[in-house]
Structure 1
């Protein structure tokens, strides 16, 4: 069996320290959920045409001969900042083995500087050599390099073994194996290293950081000695071994969270009787034994979500032959989500009542709208609407944008793919995504309480604020002169209060060099006032004339961002803040108009 070469990356211009790579994903998602989401999305994107991909996560303990192979043949050296050496000295090591089959595997060139033609695969270098490389597959779900970063985050020693099998010509396959680690930067002799390391083959006569994978029979020999799931004849795909997983709350807790994360994040791939082009076979095993993953037979919440998705598919007429003939549950309400200016169909929202029985494993996941992309149909976010008056009880919903806007919603996602942030988009797409999210909230509000969507609280009209904001934008020709500010107007004239929120100030945000010159932004300072610990703040925005009369078309007035003690948030539906906290909100609107802003507050 071949011994791999250890290659550490020395610092060069513009390099990021290795442990900084793992921080790129942030910490908004718990490690079990993040690991499953990112690796499963990559597997889905790599699926082969006319095949149902297989995805499996195996929790195992390795020892004896396997540790010997890792210690003696794979990890032939390591950085002093790595915990890998200590891990390999243990008689038994925890590991997570993740594999997919029925996928393309990590094909394409194995070096980072080769030019490839448009449409040619670069999966190997995107996953192994590059952090955050976008998937070239149209409207896919993942980002290859970030899937790798999620796996590194899941390992206490930041170390993976990667084994892949690809098709290089009809009937001809190639196996590739390499190990990689991301650790804190370190120094050997007089040279500094980033902490990124690989174990593979160093090209003969080359003492640089260039590294190639082991190929062919040598790769197979090591792979079959390490991995439980090998490759059957004709199979392609990829296997990862995550060494020494970060079981912060214990192994059983990590497994339980991973098990729950499958139906939360991947339920769309497990619908019974759906077209093979939409399915993925997903499983988990613990010490060689398969474990049950809840589905629609176990949970009314999942069953209701599936009914909503089928209704949205039917409305959007994707036309794969299943949706057209599938029966739509009559309890599901489907609404078109439109932007009025410009008039554009943004997507479809399906909502349905969902009486959740005691003992439902996903009891805490009702009363949410699942947001997902049109074609990938991978869950982006389960969005809650806690401030809405609810007259029907428990419910669930599903929203998908239309295919034409899929790329706009995709572009608004952060690397973790767990939210839509319209503020990151250019003006035209920002307006469509922002309006879509706001319209979803409006339709949910109407569904829950058709006659009286939100319970009124004692409040003052914000018309004074709207008139005052007219001061901050240039007057529009033909507008009433009364829209102009009165001389000597003081800040007390712009207070808009409810029993829970007070507007204490405002300022016009200067236009940035790359900003939209037709859009003005006003930053409003708010104070949360309540005897409770938290206040939920919900905005009501419109364009006004004389600060009082609505134009009835609020699409062009939207929340850019909230800035609270917990950081910046991009949520047009509102924000939760601590009582007594002063925070700001950026309101975006067409330059030259007055706006009508009301902020509703209630204990949260």
Structure 2
């Protein structure tokens, strides 16, 4: 129980990280892994079953607080469930060795075991102790369904892990290990309930998270403790921990993500936001898409991983406490470290961006060929790369990778110059003042698809204005990985990434790339506006004499910029167009592209 004492992570964060790693490692490969966390109060018919099952023969209260947990008038359970996984199969005893998986024995019987398998997120068994740490009585019940030979088998077992103790009796002193099991006793050994009996008892306990015919595992923590947080705050923390630690498994958004996440509190869903909807996390999603820079140790001839880096204007406000726990402050200047399984190890802090309003976010993903090196550098909680644990070539490789990452952050944090075609330089410091807020505080990437007059967006009303309804990436608002407005025929605009800083004829500008996917004649309008921030829309009546953002022109591919507030062209030919906008100084600029089929210029 003391193997996780070295980490500074909150126990709820550890629970999410460790259990999600277990779920991913147990995936069947037939589809996405569904990961669900639920907190609820036991019903009036369920609580007595828990008391009857666990109280009989339980240790005295001074050795295990199980009786106190069961005596509560309204006991609660925190349940972590995964499906799309293989369940806890293999032998039910630790002293039985057979070929194949031994998930049940590893999770239930072998506390502190190590499993160093390439391609797995978790390389130690210590993390499972967090389930017991979160229980006031250190007690959990596991309900799992696995495949045994050619059939499905359900298993149910409960156990507690606490400190060892000694009891004086008529026969002298007897020492207990502090590990207590509840199940079916066979030949002096506590085995899990199996088959119909396991399903029936699980139903009586209120453990109904495994759909019929599916394999998977549900771990119920009895009487969870959350410190100073109330239950609602604890569930919010759990959801934030999902997003900040598991977000690569949520990509692509709206597509075939490898894991699906949900949370419930007393039967009500607790929304799990998309990574692109979290302002301080969104830049890491952008950097993930830009992970093209190779990190190598050239003298050793080894590829160490890939790096992606993005600069941006810092989002407004403070990040959630889960992010602060991970070292994220008001300003972003970090690299997210991960292994090939795409689970976050940590956010490595670099030097702050040279301008207070700016920042950068980076992603480093270790190459699969050196995964074992970085896995060996992780502590039991998987939240750091402790390269001093390594030796020889492994240490050289890991240190070189971290040195390259730090060098990249140092280079990015300083001022740079952008050269135009005549070779003149424009300071990024000046550009950032012009671009202030470009990528901050919006649900997408600083641009929106807008429905033209006379068209009707799905779920919205007709007329000009923004697409309505749905999260980023749907209902007419592009998400950070590219989205499109859902217009009627020949009116669609497909954004190609986020708006970007650029220099045209020595002038700092904003460029939004887009395509017109449908064939036919188009009139395309650029609609830049000053954003008011905090979701309050855009400025409709600028102050007298105030500067406003203006359309400078349009560019096809890498060709020259053509002047004009509107573009007359044809769609469906794959051309990548760019809208070029001059932003208003010291403002946040929102860029909108409106496409109409033919017609007159407006």
TM-score tier by shorter-chain length is: 0.5 to 0.7
2-structure distance, mates of 1:27, 1:418: 8
Report if aligned partners of 2:4, 2:127 keep a CA contact under 8 Å in 1.
Answer: no
1:216 to 195, 216, 238: 195
Mapping of 1:105-254 within 5 angstroms? 105-117=87-99, 120-135=100-115, 137-143=117-123, 145-170=125-150, 172-188=151-167, 189=169, 190-204=173-187, 206=188, 210-251=189-230, 252-254=232-234
1-structure distance, mates of 2:290, 2:33: 25
1-structure distance, mates of 2:191, 2:109: 10
Q: 1:137 to 1:348 in 2, by over 3 A?
A: same
2-structure distance, mates of 1:442, 1:191: 59
1:372 to 338, 342, 352: 338
Q: 1:144 to 1:402 in 2, by over 3 A?
A: closer
What is the CA-CA distance between 1:229 and the residue it aligns to?
3.2
2-structure distance, mates of 1:338, 1:143: 25
Q: Deviations over 1:284-318 (max 9, x none)?
A: 11101011122234223333212222232xx3xxx
Q: 1:391 to 1:255 in 2, by over 3 A?
A: closer
Report if aligned partners of 1:133, 1:143 keep a CA contact under 8 Å in 2.
Answer: no
Q: Deviations over 1:480-532 (max 9, x none)?
A: xxxxxxxxxxxxxxxxxxxxxxxxxxxxxxxxxxxxxxxxxxxxxxxxxxxxx
Report if aligned partners of 2:3, 2:380 keep a CA contact under 8 Å in 1.
Answer: no
Report if aligned partners of 2:290, 2:309 keep a CA contact under 8 Å in 1.
Answer: no
1:347 to 305, 311, 328: 305
What is the CA-CA distance between 1:145 and the residue it aligns to?
2.9
2-structure distance, mates of 1:142, 1:25: 18
2:377 to 405, 412, 424: 412
Q: 1:392 to 1:353 in 2, by over 3 A?
A: farther
TM-score by length of 2: 0.63
Determine the structure 1 residue equivalent to 2:18: 38
Report if aligned partners of 2:294, 2:303 keep a CA contact under 8 Å in 1.
Answer: yes
1-structure distance, mates of 2:351, 2:413: 11
TM-score by length of 1: 0.63
Give the secondary-structure state (helix, strand or coil) at the position aligned to 2:23.
Answer: helix
| Structure 2 unmatched ranges of 5 or more | 418-602
Q: Deviations over 1:543-589 (max 9, x none)?
A: xxxxxxxxxxxxxxxxxxxxxxxxxxxxxxxxxxxxxxxxxxxxxxx
Determine the structure 2 residue equivalent to 1:101: 83
Determine the structure 2 residue equivalent to 1:539: none
Q: Does 1:431 align with 2:396?
A: yes
Q: Deviations over 1:350-392 (max 9, x none)?
A: 1101324335755863321100001x11000011124675688
Q: 1:25 to 1:275 in 2, by over 3 A?
A: farther
What count of residue pairs does the alignment treat as equivalent? 402
What is the CA-CA distance between 1:228 and the residue it aligns to?
4.5
Determine the structure 1 residue equivalent to 2:476: none
2-structure distance, mates of 1:412, 1:75: 42
What is the CA-CA distance between 1:424 and the residue it aligns to?
1.2
2-structure distance, mates of 1:299, 1:67: 38
Report if aligned partners of 2:335, 2:361 keep a CA contact under 8 Å in 1.
Answer: yes
What is the CA-CA distance between 1:136 and the residue it aligns to?
6.2
Determine the structure 1 residue equivalent to 2:265: 286
Q: Deviations over 1:159-181 (max 9, x none)?
A: 101110011233x2101111010
1-structure distance, mates of 2:199, 2:407: 56
1-structure distance, mates of 2:194, 2:237: 36
Q: 1:388 to 1:34 in 2, by over 3 A?
A: same
2-structure distance, mates of 1:65, 1:102: 30
1-structure distance, mates of 2:382, 2:117: 16
What is the CA-CA distance between 1:140 and the residue it aligns to?
0.6
| Structure 1 unmatched ranges of 5 or more | 1-20, 316-334, 453-604
Report if aligned partners of 2:88, 2:104 keep a CA contact under 8 Å in 1.
Answer: yes
Mapping of 1:61-72 within 5 angstroms? 61-72=41-52
1:449 to 390, 399, 414: 414
Report if aligned partners of 1:105, 1:236 keep a CA contact under 8 Å in 2.
Answer: yes
What is the CA-CA distance between 1:420 and the residue it aligns to?
0.4
Determine the structure 1 residue equivalent to 2:346: 381
Report if aligned partners of 1:53, 1:102 keep a CA contact under 8 Å in 2.
Answer: yes
Give the secondary-structure state (helix, strand or coil) at the position aligned to 1:211.
Answer: strand
Q: 1:343 to 1:230 in 2, by over 3 A?
A: closer
2-structure distance, mates of 1:389, 1:293: 34
What is the CA-CA distance between 1:256 and the residue it aligns to?
2.3
Q: 1:281 to 1:451 in 2, by over 3 A?
A: closer
Determine the structure 2 residue equivalent to 1:56: 36
2-structure distance, mates of 1:392, 1:342: 40
1-structure distance, mates of 2:138, 2:343: 27
2:386 to 395, 402, 421: 421
The CA RMSD measured in Å over matched residues stands at 2.3
2-structure distance, mates of 1:340, 1:232: 51
Give the secondary-structure state (helix, strand or coil) at the position aligned to 2:191.
Answer: coil
